[in-house]
C-alpha cells in the first residue's frame, strides 16, 4: 500500500464546509462524461474511474485547474477517468439552494478501481467522502488523526512529537532517559547523545505511515546535515534502507513515550522509555 511521508503532513485538509443558500434546484439530466484526465500520460493500466455526485463540483486536481462542475439548472452526476495515486481535489457543494466555497479533500486512488465522490448534509454543514464503489470503504485521508485530534497512539505522536518541529512552528522536542537524549529539531534534523560517554550523532529524520494511519515508522539517518539538504534526504538518501535507527511508538502519554526499535545501531535495548518535552 502506498505510504505517506512526513513532508506531506503540512497539507491542511478539510472534509466539511459551511453551507450558504441561493436559488432553486434545476432539472435532472443524465450522467456527464468528462472523458479521460491524464496530464502525465500514464498507461491505461494506471487509470481509475471517479463518479462525482451531481451536487459536487471539482475545480482543481492536485495543482491543476479543471472544470468538473455544471450550472445550477443543469446539475447532473459526472464521470471522469483519472490517474491512480494520492491526489488532492478542490471541491465544492451546490444543490441550487445551498452551496459551499471550494475546499480540499485528499484520496488514495488505486488503479483499475471505481470510486464515488459523494456529499451529504449534516445540519448546516456538508460532508464529502470518496468511497470505493465495490467495498464502500472511504479512501479519504483521516484529517482528525493528521491534526492530532484522534486519541490513537499514532495521532498523539504526530501532535506531540512531529508537529512541533514543523517549519510553521519551529520548536524542538527532547526525549530523555537515564542513558540517552534524543532531540528532534526543525528541518527534519535530529541529534542523539549517549549520556555516559558523551558521544553524539546528528542526522535527518523521516516518518512514514500507511494511508489508514494505523501504523507508522520513524527513520533516523546519521548524516552531515550541512551537506545533505532536506530534499536530498527525502529523494536521494534511500533513508528507509540506510537509516541506522528505525522505530515505532508502542505507548505515548502527555509526558512519556515508549519507542520500539526495529533497527538500532548501538542502543542498550530495543524497547526504550523516555520522558519528553517541547522546547520553544
242: its cell numbers: 540506510
Q: What is the pLDDT along the chain (280 residues), one digit of tens a residue?
A: 444 444 444 333 334 455 555 444 444 458 999 999 999 999 999 999 999 999 999 999 988 999 999 887 888 999 999 999 888 899 999 887 888 888 888 888 999 999 999 998 888 788 899 999 999 999 887 666 666 566 788 889 988 999 899 887 899 999 999 999 999 999 999 999 999 999 999 999 999 877 666 778 999 999 999 999 988 998 899 999 999 999 999 999 999 999 999 998 888 789 999 999 999 9
Residue 111 phi, psi (nearest 5): -60, 140
Strand partners of residue 256: 275
Taking CA 96 as the corner, what is the angle to CA 93 and CA 99, rounded to the nearest 5 degrees? Answer: 35
Burial of residue 41 (number of CB atoms within 10 Å: 0-12, 13-18, 19+) = exposed
Note whether 128 and 119 are within 8 A (CB): yes
Q: How far is CA 274 from CA 75, 246, 253, 255, in A?
A: 57, 16, 11, 9
Pure H helices in 194-275: 230-236, 239-242
pTM over 0.75: no
Going by the DSSP 8-state scheme, the letter that residue 110 receives in this structure is P
Instruction: Give yes or no for a contact between 57 and 91, defined as CB atoms under 8 angstroms apart.
Output: yes
User: Residue 62 and residue 70: Cα distance in Å, rounded?
Assistant: 20
Nearest alpha carbon to residue 166 among 13, 3, 276, 6: 6
Kindly report the number of other CB atoms within 10 A of residue 277's CB atom.
12
Give residue 115's Cα distance to chain centre. 19
Beta strand pairing call for 256-263 and 271-279: antiparallel
Distance CA 154, CA 280 (A): 23
The alpha carbon of residue 34 and the mean position of all alpha carbons in its chain are separated, in whole angstroms, by: 28
Amino acid at each position: 500500500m502506498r505510504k505517506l511521508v512526513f513532508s506531506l503532513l503540512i497539507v491542511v485538509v478539510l472534509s466539511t464546509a459551511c453551507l450558504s443558500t441561493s436559488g432553486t434546484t434545476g432539472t435532472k439530466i443524465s450522467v456527464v462524461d468528462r472523458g479521460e484526465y491524464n496530464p502525465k500520460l500514464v498507461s491505461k493500466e494506471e487509470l481509475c474511474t471517479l463518479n462525482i455526485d451531481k451536487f459536487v463540483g471539482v475545480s482543481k486536481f492536485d495543482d491543476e485547474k479543471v472544470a468538473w462542475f455544471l450550472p445550477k439548472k443543469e446539475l447532473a452526476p459526472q464521470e471522469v477517468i483519472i490517474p491512480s495515486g494520492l491526489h488532492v481535489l478542490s471541491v465544492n457543494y451546490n444543490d441550487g439552494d445551498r452551496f459551499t466555497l471550494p475546499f480540499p479533500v485528499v484520496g488514495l486512488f488505486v488503479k483499475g478501481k471505481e470510486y464515488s465522490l459523494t456529499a451529504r448534509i449534516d445540519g448546516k454543514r456538508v460532508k464529502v467522502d470518496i468511497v470505493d464503489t465495490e467495498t464502500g470503504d472511504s479512501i479519504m485521508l483521516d484529517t482528525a488523526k493528521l491534526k492530532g485530534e484522534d486519541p490513537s497512539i499514532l495521532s498523539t505522536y504526530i501532535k506531540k512529537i512531529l508537529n512541533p518541529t514543523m517549519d510553521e512552528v519551529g520548536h524542538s522536542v527532547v526525549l530523555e532517559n537515564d542513558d540517552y537524549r534524543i532531540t528532534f529539531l526543525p528541518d527534519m534534523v535530529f541529534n542523539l547523545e549517549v549520556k555516559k560517554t558523551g558521544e553524539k550523532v546528528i542526522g535527518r529524520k523521516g516518518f512514514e505511515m500507511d494511508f489508514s494511519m494505523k501504523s507508522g515508522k520513524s527513520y533516523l539517518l546519521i548524516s552531515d546535515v550541512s551537506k545533505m539538504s532536506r530534499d536530498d534526504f527525502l529523494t536521494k538518501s534511500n533513508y528507509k534502507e540506510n537509516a541506522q535507527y528505525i522505530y515505532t511508538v508502542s505507548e505515548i502519554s502527555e509526558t512519556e513515550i515508549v519507542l520500539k526499535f526495529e533497527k538500532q545501531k548501538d542502543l542498550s535495548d530495543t524497547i526504550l522509555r523516555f520522558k519528553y518535552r517541547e522546547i520553544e
